[in-house]
Structure formats: structure tokens, C-alpha cells
Copies of this chain bind each other. A is one copy, B any other.
């Protein structure tokens, strides 16, 4: 398997040291708008641990780097062909999903992303009805992928991704019928500034966080999707492994669109433990128009305010040394168990930043997003997962995925209530 990894940001830079320990692939071409960043990541330089490991040995020849503009579909197609890649892995902001998705289809490559094509709110009733939903543009092209015998595996990170695998696992093995599937994401991460004081520094792509948090959250209920107001229905969820109770609110997320396509449940929700400070920041950015992706004119130049926000904040990939704590992603399922009795479980995956930094030189949040697509690629390379068309993680058998995740040294857990 030859892979074109597009994006050498936080997630891309964590994919490299994870894949470097595995032998399922032949080559990974790391591509980025900033070629120097792609070179550094391909050389393991962005991953502290890998740098130490390879300092005395040769660079892993299975990684190379190129400069590439993810918005330039023709250039991406050319790169896939030139480097004879079987798979394109999309590790850039979801605004580039469609050019990358189309490039892979045209070039005859499989495709994997960790999000889905973007939504557009309902024009007149944005907080009641969905407009264009996450993934709609991709699912509309499923027949073209099937016709070419190609797979587009969408939403294959941690959330969406592992969370969807958990939902399918619960449906197959733990429940007779499911009432509600609630994805719940929370952390007790703290970032300290240069001065040692607690600092404000988002641990994941702020571009993506703004997108998902300020769009109308979507809910699946009684056979249909509806939307609500941003940050609605706050609820305190008790996260495992010492993280403890965190207030979570509704956020637009891919699982709510993916799970009901393959798993039967009366209700599917996604809630994120953003915290009051982060919600206030997002509300303020929106109030000032700084969440906008439409360019504004500044002294003769055209720039998108959201890009400027991202450029003003520290790169999440560089925060690991100043971070402490754990992050948890998981799927909370309520329904009737195989024995006919009411059952409630939370299937989860916790990453301790100290561990991911020590083992991989990658901070916990980006490492947790990066490990699952690598596991999925390995399953595809080995033939354990097979498929054609546009599919979500819950379209595949969950057992091999969960077994291989354990083999990667990052076990998942289950809490029974």
C-alpha cells in the first residue's frame, strides 16, 4: 500500500510516528502546502520521540515529502498518479474535503478522511431543520465510487471514527435494542504558557472547532434529523479514568449523520465538553465576525478572518510539552441488553498526554485522532476490512478494529452503569 497523506499539521505529524512502527504499508508521501513542514514531518522531526529514536540511525526511507495545495484538485490527482498511491489520507481542514475526495476518485485511489464534507445551514429555519448535512455531498457520489470499485471511508478518526465503531460494536454484541447513542467527548487537559501560567491554547485545529461548534448542532431522533441552537442542552457527564464530571453541550458532528445509516437507534446525539471559557471565546469570535471564512480586505490584501485566528494561536501540534492531563472520546449507549433488561454502557478511549508525548512525541488530542485512521489503513491493507462506495466506520466489522487498537498499545475501555 502506497499512501498520499495530505496535511502535515497536528494530525499528519502524529500519523507518521504511529505508522512508522508498523509494516503494513510500502510508502507514505507526506504532502503539505508548506513543503518544509512536510519534510520535517516525513523526517519525524515534528515528533520528539521519533527524532530521538532516529537520531543515531538512518531516516525511515518509507516516508517522503512533497509540497501540495490541497485545494488544487488537478495537482492532487497528478501527485496520486506520480507517486502511484493506492490511498489518499485527508489530514487537512474539512474545507478541502471535496477537492481531495474528487481527486482520489478521478485518480483511481481509495480515500480516507477524519471528517466529512461540510454542512450548510437551512436558509430560513437553521435551528430547527438541517440544510445541506455533513457528508451529503460525499454520499451523493457513492455510486461513482462503487462503479470504480473504490472505497471512500469517511469520518475515520476518533470522533467520528472510533466512536462509530463503538456504536456498531454495542449494537452487534451488547444490546437487543438501542434507545439512545450519545457520543461524549471531554478532557481535563491544561496548557501552560512560557511563564508557567495556565494559558488559552486550543488543543485541536481551531478552524475545525469553530466550524463544528458554531454550526447548528444536529440530532437524530425518531427517524429523522433536526437541528438546535449552538451550545444547547448542557449536561454534566462523568468521564472515566480520573477526568471526572465535565459539562457537555450539543455540537454538530459527523457521528450523528453516520451512525443512523448503519445502526438502529431511536436517538443519536453528540456533546462536547467545551467549558465556559471556550464557549465564550467561540461566541465572541462569532459576534465579531472573526469566525467567517469569507475574505475581508486589509490594507490591500484579502484574508479570511478565521485563518487569521488560526495563525494567531499556537499550532496545536506544538503544545505537547506544555500540556498535562487526559482526553476521553466515547460512546454512551442506553437500551435493552441481550438479556432483555435495561442496559447502559459507555465505551471509551482515554489518552494521557504524558504517555503520548513519551511514546510518540505527539500531544494527546492529535495523537488520538491520528491513531484510528492508521489502524483502519492497516485493516484495509491486510484485507480485514473491505468495501466499495462511500462508507462510514460503522459499515465494517468492529471486532478486528478494536483488537488491532489494543495491539497498538492504546486500549479502549467499557464502563457499565
Chain A positions near chain B (C-beta within 8 angstroms): 33, 200, 280-281, 284-285, 287-290, 292, 296-299, 301, 303-305, 307-309, 311-313
Contacts and interface: CB of A to CB of B under 8 A. Distances in A.
A303 B298 contact: yes
Please name the 10 residue pairs, one residue from A and one from B, whose CB atoms are nearest each other, closest first.
Answer: A289-B312, A296-B311, A284-B284, A308-B308, A200-B287, A298-B311, A298-B307, A305-B312, A301-B301, A298-B303
Q: Which of A280, A285, A303 has the most CB of B within 10 A?
A: A303
B308 A303 contact: yes
Contacts of A281: 284, 287-288
A312 B290 contact: yes
The count of identical subunits is 2
B296 A312 contact: yes
Given A296-B312, A303-B303, 11 more contacts: A200-B288, A280-B280, A281-B287, A281-B288, A284-B284, A284-B285, A290-B308, A297-B311, A298-B308, A298-B311, A305-B308
Nearest to A289: B312
A69 to B, nearest CB: 10
A309 B290 contact: yes
29 contacts: A33-B299, A200-B287, A200-B288, A280-B280, A280-B284, A281-B284, A281-B287, A284-B284, A285-B288, A288-B309, A288-B313, A290-B290, A290-B308, A290-B312, A292-B312, A296-B311, A296-B312, A297-B311, A298-B303, A298-B304, A298-B308, A298-B311, A301-B301, A301-B303, A303-B308, A305-B308, A305-B311, A305-B312, A308-B308
A67 to B, nearest CB: 12
Instruction: Provide the main secondary structure of the chain A interface.
Output: mixed
Contacts of A312: 288-290, 292, 296, 305
A54 to B, nearest CB: 29
Contacts of A200: 287-288
A143 B33 CA distance: 54
Given A301-B301, A301-B303, A307-B298, A313 B284 contact: no
A299 B301 CA distance: 11
A307 B296 CA distance: 10
A81 B144 CA distance: 70
A378 to B, nearest CB: 34
Contacts of A280: 280, 284
